[in-house]
Amino acid sequence: MKKLCALVGRHRRLYFKDRGMLISSFISPAILIVLYATFLAKVFKESFVSALPEFFTVSEKIIDGTVAAQLTAALLAVSCVTVTFSVNFTMIQDKVSGARKDLNVAPIGKPTIYLSYFISTVFNSLMVNLAALALCLVYVSSAGWFLSVTDVACLVGDVVLLVSFGAVLSSVICYPMTTQGQMSAVGTIVSAGYGFLCGAYMPISSFGEGLQKVLLHLPGTYGTSLLKNRMLRGVFVEMGSAGIPEEAVNGIKDALDCSLSFHGHAVTTPEMLLVMLGSIVVLGALYFVIMKLDKK
Amino acid sequence: MENNVIIKISHLFKSFGEVKAVNDLSFQVRKGELFAFLGVNGAGKSTTISMICGQLRQDAGEVEINGRNAVLASGETKRELGIVFQDSVLDRPLSVKDNLRSRAALYGITGRSFEKRLGELMELLDFSSFINRPVGKLSGGQRRRIDIARALLHRPEILILDEPTTGLDPQTRMLIWDVIERLRKDEGMTVFLTTHYMEEAASADYVVILDSGRIAAEGTPYELKTKYVNDTVSVYGASEEDMKRLGLAYTPVRDGFRFSVENTGEAVALITAHPELFRDFEVIKGGMDDVFLAVTGKELRGDNK
C-alpha cells in the first residue's frame, strides 16, 4: 500500500510540475463553458422554445435554466472523459523517458504500477472536473437555479463515476502507446469525437434510428444522460409546477435524452448508474488482462 | 553456492525477430568481484543486463541471482540489484530529493530511514549542494552521481553499471571510481560493469568479451593479455648493430628501439641471454584495447572496423 501511495504521489507531483499541462487542463473546461454559452446557448434556446406548444407560456428563467443545465451537463459529460486522456500522459511519458525501466527494476508488481497510473489519473482528473463542475454551477445559477443540495451531491458523485470511467477507458486505450505523438493523436480524436458519441453535442434523439441503436450500446450515452437527469431534475419539477402537462414535460425529457429506451426498456437513473459501474468493472478487468498478457 | 557465485547465467538465448541478440550465453560472477562485460554496440550487453534485471524475458536459459531463479523470485532478486542505466532514468522535472524519496519508498525506505540513507549517500557521492535542484537542471556528471545514489538506496548486493562513465569529465569519472572501489572494499559489493573505457576494464577481476551475442573471450585481464596480445620491449641506448644481432623485427623509436615478443617469459630469456644489450629497457604488456581488437577484430570506441 505504501508503495502504491508513493507511486501515486510521484505521478501527481509530475503532473503538477508540468505547468503547461496543468494550466491547459484547468482552462479547457472554462473555455468550453464560454464557447458553449456564446455559440450554443442561443441555438439550444431557440430550438427549445420552438419545440414548446404555442399555447404554453414558460418563464424566461425556466427556459434559461433548462438551456444552462443542458449545456453544462453536456460539457461535464465530455470533460470528465476527455480530460483523463491528457492527464494519463504520465503513463506514456514514463515509457518515453525510460523511467518505467527504473520502476520495473524495483520490487513492485506490474499491477501496482498500472493501478498507480489509474489512481493518479482519477485524482488529477477529479480535481479538474470538480473545478469545472463549480464553474458550471456558477453559470447555472446565473441563468436559472433549480437544483437542490441533493442534486449537487449527486452531481459530484456522477462526476466521480464519469471520471473513473474516463480514467479506465483512457488506461486501456493508452496502454500500448509508446510515444507522445500517439498519445496526442488519440487525445485529439477522443476530444473531437466523444461529444458526438455520448450525445453531449447533439441529443441522440435527433439522430437516425440506426445510429441511435448503436449509440445506446455505448456506456458514455448513459453517463451523459445521468448528468442531464441530475442537472434538469429541478427544472422539470419547476415546469410541472408552472402548469406544463406531464406529457409535455416527458416529451422534453425524451428530446433532451433524459429518458433513454434500450430495446424498448425505459432505462431508469439507477440503471444508468449500474451501466456506468459495470463498464468501469469490465474495462478495469480488460486493463488487467491486457497487462497480464503483456510479457514485456 | 558453488565458488561464491552470485550471478549465474546458463545457456541464455534471446532473439528479436531474426536477430539473435544473445546466443547461448553462459558465465558466472563471483561475490565481491568487479566483473567487466565488454562488447561493441549491439553485441548483446544491454539485452543480457535487461534479462538479469528481469526487464526482459529470455527465450531460453536461466539467470540465477544468489542461487535463486531471477524470474521466479523476481521480488527478492530485485532487492539484491542496484542498476545504473546507460541513460539517466530519473524524473527530470522533480528535485533530486523527490526523485530519491519516491524511489526509496518502492523498497519500503521511508521517513527517518530514508533521511538517514540520504545523508549517507550525500556524503558518499557529494551531492548535498544540489539536493533540491530539479534533476533536469543538473550537469551530466551531477546526474550520474544521482543515478548511482538511486541504485544504492536499498544497499544492493550487486551493482550493475551500464556504461556509467561514458561522456563524463575525468574528475567525475575518478569520483565515481573512488565510490565503486569504496563500496567493494567496505561493503563487499559485487560490481557488474559494461564500459567502453579499456582502462576501466583493466582493473576488473574478470572480463567477458561479447561478440554477436556470444562469448568471444573470457578470463582475468592478465590471462587475456597473455593469451591474445604480445608484450612490447623497448630498449634504450643500444645500437642498431646490437638489435640486428637479436634477429628480431624491430622499430626505431626516438631514444632506442622497440620490438614485440610473445610473452614476458620470452622477454626475460632475451634479457638474460643479452645482458650487455639490455642495460636500459622496459617490458610493457599489451593493453585491454589490444585484447579487444585481437578477439573481435573491432575497436571498442568509434566505428567498428
Is residue B210 helix, strand or coil? strand
Asked whether the ipTM of the predicted complex exceeds the cut of 0.85, the reply is: no
In this structure, which amino acid lies at residue B36? Answer: A
Cross-chain Cβ contact A105/B53 below 8 Å: yes
The burial class, CB within 10 Å (0-12 / 13-18 / 19+), for B274 is: middle
The upper half-sphere exposure of residue A143, i.e. CA atoms within 13 Å in the direction of its Cβ, equals 26
Decide if A97 contacts A222 (C-beta within 8 A): no
Grid coordinates standing for A101?
525501466
Query: What is the tens place of the pLDDT at every residue in A16-70?
Result: 888 887 888 788 888 888 887 888 788 878 877 777 777 777 788 888 888 899 8
| pLDDT tens-digit series, residues A268-294 | 999 999 999 999 999 999 999 998 888
Question: Are residues A97 and B89, on separate chains, in Cβ contact within 8 Å?
Answer: yes
The number of C-alpha atoms within 13 Å of A269 and in the hemisphere containing its C-beta is: 14
What DSSP string describes B38-99? E--TTSSHHHHHHHHTTSS--SEEEEEETTEETTTTHHHHHHHEEEE-SS--S-TTSBHHHH
Structure confidence by residue, pLDDT tens digits, B7-55: 999 999 999 988 888 989 999 999 999 999 988 888 888 899 988 988 8
pLDDT band at B166 (very low <50, low <70, confident <90, very high): confident
| DSSP of B125-183 | HT-GGGTTSBGGGS-HHHHHHHHHHHHHTT--SEEEEESTTTT--HHHHHHHHHHHHHH
| Cβ–Cβ below 8 Å for B102 and A7 | yes
- For position A201, what pLDDT does the model report? 78
Instruction: Quote the crossing angle between the two packed helices A60-87 and A219-241, to the nearest 10°.
Output: 160
Task: Inform me whether the pLDDT recorded for A200 exceeds 80.
Answer: no
Given A2, A101, A106, which is nearest B103 (Cβ)?
A106
A243 neighbors A58 (Cβ within 8 angstroms): no
Cβ–Cβ under 8 Å, residues A181 and A295:
no
The whole-number average pLDDT for the span A245-255 is: 83
**CA dist., res. B21 & res. B204, Å (int):** 24
**Closest-CA distance of chain B to residue A83, Å:** 22
Q: Are A197 and A215 in contact (CB under 8 A)?
A: yes
Between A3, A14, A105, which is nearest B91 by CB?
A14
- Taken in order of first residue, the domains within chain B and their CATH numbers are 2-224 (3.40.50.300), 230-284 (3.30.70.260)
Please tell me the distance from the alpha carbon of residue A226 to that of residue A165, in angstroms, as a whole number.
13
Determine the average pLDDT of the residues in B233-240: 88
At A222 the pLDDT is: 92
More confident residue, A219 or B302: A219
Task: For residues B45 and B37, give the distance between their C-alpha atoms in angstroms, rounded to a whole number.
Answer: 7
Q: Is the pLDDT of residue B302 over 50?
A: no
* Position with higher pLDDT, A138 vs B72: A138
> Is A120 or A60 the better-scoring residue by pLDDT?
A120
Q: pLDDT band at B105, cuts 50/70/90? A: very high
pLDDT-based confidence at B2, cuts 50/70/90?
low
Chain B residue with CA closest to A90: the answer is: B91
Q: Pick A13's closest partner by Cβ from B81, B92, B98.
A: B98
pLDDT for res B225: 85
Cβ neighbours of B56 in A, within 8 Å: 296
pLDDT at B19: 87
Q: Above 60 in pLDDT, residue B184?
A: yes
B183 pLDDT more than 70: yes
Chain A, 18-77: which have a CB under 8 Å from a chain B CB?
Answer: 18
> CA A255, CA A49: separation in Å to the nearest integer?
13
Residue A127 makes CB contacts below 8 A (sequence gap 6+) with none
Element (H, E) at B215: strand B214-219
| Cβ within 8 Å of residue A139, ≥6 positions away | A33, A37, A68, A71, A72
Relative to beta strand B68-69, strand B60-65 is antiparallel
Q: How far apart are CA A116 and CA B98, in angstroms?
A: 17
What mean pLDDT is reported for chain A? Answer: 87
pLDDT at A160: 96
Contact indicator for B6, B30 with CB cutoff of 8 Å? yes
User: Which residues are A261's β-sheet partners?
Assistant: A266
Which tens digits make up the pLDDT trace of B139-159?
A: 888 999 999 999 999 999 999
Show Cβ contacts of residue B95 under 8 Å, excluding neighbours closer than 6 positions.
B131, B132, B133, B134, B135
User: Residue by residue, what is the 3-state secondary structure of chain A?
Assistant: CHHHHHHHHHHHHHHHHCHHHHHHHHHHHHHHHHHHHHHHHHHHHHHHHHHCCCCCCCCHHHHHHHHHHHHHHHHHHHHHHHHHHHHCHHHHHHHHHCHHHHHHCCCCCHHHHHHHHHHHHHHHHHHHHHHHHHHHHHHHHHHCCCCCHHHHHHHHHHHHHHHHHHHHHHHHHHCCCCCHHHHHHHHHHHHHHHHHHCCCCCCHHHCCHHHHHHHCCCHHHHHHHHHHHHHHHHHHHHHHHCCCCHHHHHHHHHHCCCCEEECCEEECHHHHHHHHHHHHHHHHHHHHHHHHHCCC
Give the pLDDT score at A127: 92
**Which residue(s) pair with B29 in the sheet?**
B7
Residue A93: which of B8, B85, B218, B94 has the closest Cα? B94
Tens of pLDDT, residue by residue over A66-117, are 889 988 998 899 989 988 988 888 889 899 988 988 998 899 888 999 999 9
In the predicted model, is pLDDT for residue B106 greater than 90? yes
Residues in B closer than 8 angstroms to A292, CB to CB, are: none
Find the closest chain A residue to B98 by CA distance: A10
pLDDT (average), residues A233-245: 86
Helices (H) and strands (E) in chain B, counts: 11, 14
A274 touching chain B per CB within 8 A: no
> What are the residues of chain B with a beta carbon less than 8 Å away from any beta carbon of chain A?
53-57, 74-76, 78-79, 81, 83, 85, 87-94, 98, 102-103, 105-108, 110, 150
Averaged pLDDT, A152-175: 94
Counting Cβ atoms within 10 Å, is residue B264 exposed (0-12), middle (13-18) or buried (19+)? middle
Q: Specify the pLDDT at position B73.
A: 62
Higher pLDDT, residue B212 or A122: A122
Q: What is the mean pLDDT of residues A176-199?
A: 85
- The reported pLDDT for the residue numbered B3 is 64
